[in-house]
Amino acid sequence: MPRGDKSSYTDKQKRKAEHIEEGYKDRGVSSKEAERRAWATVNKESGGGKKSGSGRGRKESHASSRKGGRTGGSSQSPEKRSAAARKGWETRRRKGNG
């Protein structure tokens, strides 16, 4: 089986990858990179291509799905964060517990 062949994946895994890929595209990731990330996520969660059959499965970990979109820096702009830090510093200085 050549690299990149998706025939050993279940329909569910293929749908999942497609859905993940769409999410990345919506966030401005290029088509090729979105596809690469989507399949990497499917592989990480389900352990690669699966064939159906009793006793052949392993539990899926959905950690990466839950984590998606939550990683990254602060939601505040750098200016707002800096202003909040200054305000806090002024308050602590005035009250004398800094």
Is the CB of residue 25 less than 8 Å from the CB of residue 17? no
Closest CA to 4 of 34, 31, 46, 40: 40
Confidence at residue 55, expressed as pLDDT on a 0 to 100 scale? 72
Q: Judge residue 17's burial from the number of C-beta atoms within 10 Å of its C-beta, 0-12 exposed, 13-18 middle, 19 or more buried.
A: buried
Q: For the chain, what are the domain ranges?
A: 8-50
Query: Closest Cα to residue 69, out of 29, 31, 30, 42?
Result: 29
How high is the mean pLDDT in each 10-residue block of the chain (98 residues)? 84 93 92 94 86 74 77 78 92 82
What is the rounded CA–CA span in Å between residue 35 and residue 41?
A: 10
pTM of the full structure: 0.62
- Asked whether 45 and 60 are in contact (CB, 8 A), the reply is yes
